[in-house]
Amino acid sequence: MILFKEAAALSGYLEKQQKKGVSIGFVPTMGALHQGHITLVTASTENTGLTVCSIFVNPTQFNDPADFKKYPITIEKDLKMLSDAGADVVFLPDVKEIYPDGLEKVRTYSLGHLETILEGKYRPGHFQGVCQVVHRLLEIVSPDILFMGQKDYQQCMVVQHLIDLYAIPTRLVKCSTIREESGLAMSSRNMRLSDTERQKAAEIYRTLQYVEQSILPGDLADIKGKAIDRLINAGFRVDYLEICDANNLNIIETWDGKSPLVTLTAAFLGDVRLIDNLVIIHS
Ligand code: AMP
């Protein structure tokens, strides 16, 4: 596994590989890796000739400075996990490599309604930050395939929008959410939960499953209310729980029984903010 810290050196190396006909897979992360990240790396090693993983805690996507400060860093363990998983290249840039013109001179993106709903509403500026870092990383790595997790459903949509907007010749592959045995979606932020909180946190997935199992065509206000109550009663502070069209994230108030749906939620347990979603499969 080769480690790069400089963008120019990495681009040069990957250009040579691409000229030789090697296809490049890319997995961007913020580190504190878990099995969810490793599944993306495995998907890349199985489908491309060379797998690049980046670890960069991107300051511009944190709307809450305290969240940025507390973001877990476990670099030695991460490198071991990546090497064991068969990653070929790790990119560990510092802020200057990603934002050479400084954090004040960053690009802005036209993201339409994706920026003002759900995560966009509760984390102002977050998706601008996601686009800034992903766009720059895609310029550096020029991957054939970009692997991202469905755990961050809205993020995948934003990144697909970015790819379309700039006609970037990269295919986005969305990988399923990896969960703990309890159903809790794996997340770097789970490290900040106590054992009791971790058990409680599994209620998020049970609530998403409850929506999937109980939903009927018609007005969705009642089921949505019941789902939010479940979370509140389990001790969460709920930012949102919405049932949306799975294709465009429009919030669905009245379901026709046909359009594909996804339930998405964000809720705090103590000061840890957790997000999850579940696509509703109905027969
Ligand atoms: P992060 O380090 O949290 O920015 O995540 C890096 C990538 O891993 C993103 O594409 C996430 O969607 C993905 N990811 C995070 N958690 C999971 C999970 N539990 N299952 C699958 N992918 C995940």
Burial class of 151 by CB neighbour count within 10 A (0 to 12, 13 to 18, 19+)? buried
User: How confident is the model over 128-170, as pLDDT tens digits?
Assistant: 999 999 999 999 999 999 999 999 999 999 999 999 999 999 9
User: How confident is the model over 147-158, as pLDDT tens digits?
Assistant: 999 999 999 999
Q: What are the structure tokens assigned to 182, written together?
A: 């309890």
Put simply, whether the predicted model's pTM sits higher than 0.95 gets the answer yes
Residue with tokens 């669905």: 252
Portion of the chain with pLDDT greater than 90, in percent: 96
Span from the CA of 20 to the centroid of ligand 1 (angstroms): 30
| Residues 222-239, mean pLDDT to the nearest whole number | 98
**3-class secondary structure, 241:** strand
User: How confident is the model over 9-39, as pLDDT tens digits?
Assistant: 999 999 999 999 999 999 999 999 999 999 9
Does the annotation count 37 as an active-site position? yes
CA–CA distance, 91 with 5 (Å, rounded to integer): 6
- Range name among 14-23, 134-143, 210-219, 274-283 with the lowest pLDDT average: 274-283
Sign of CA dihedral 36, 42, 45, 46: negative
pLDDT at 177 over 80: yes
Span from the CA of 185 to the centroid of ligand 1 (angstroms): 10
Q: Which atom of ligand 1 is nearest to the CA of 37?
A: 8
Q: What are the structure tokens assigned to 88, written together?
A: 């070929």
pLDDT of residue 281: 83
Our answer on whether the CB atom of 148 is closer than 6 Å to any ligand 1 atom is yes
Our answer on whether the CB atom of 186 is closer than 6 Å to any ligand 1 atom is yes
Residue with tokens 């309890």: 182
User: How confident is the model over 189-203, as pLDDT tens digits?
Assistant: 999 999 999 999 999
Our answer on whether the CB atom of 25 is closer than 6 Å to any ligand 1 atom is no
pLDDT at 283 over 70: no
Our answer on whether the CB atom of 273 is closer than 6 Å to any ligand 1 atom is no
Q: What is the mean pLDDT of the chain?
A: 97
| Residues 242-251, mean pLDDT to the nearest whole number | 97
Sign of CA dihedral 51, 52, 54, 60: negative
Domain-wise residue ranges, the chain: 2-175, 188-280
DSSP 102-169: -TTS------GGGGTSTHHHHSTTHHHHHHHHHHHHHHHH--SEEEEEGGGHHHHHHHHHHHHHTT-S
CA–CA distance, 105 with 253 (Å, rounded to integer): 40
Q: Which atom of ligand 1 is nearest to the CA of 187?
A: 16
CATH architecture, domain 2-175: 3-Layer(aba) Sandwich (3.40)
Question: Domain 188-280 - what CATH class?
Answer: alpha beta
**3-class secondary structure, 46:** helix
What residue's CA is closest to ligand 1, atom 13? 149
Our answer on whether the CB atom of 175 is closer than 6 Å to any ligand 1 atom is yes
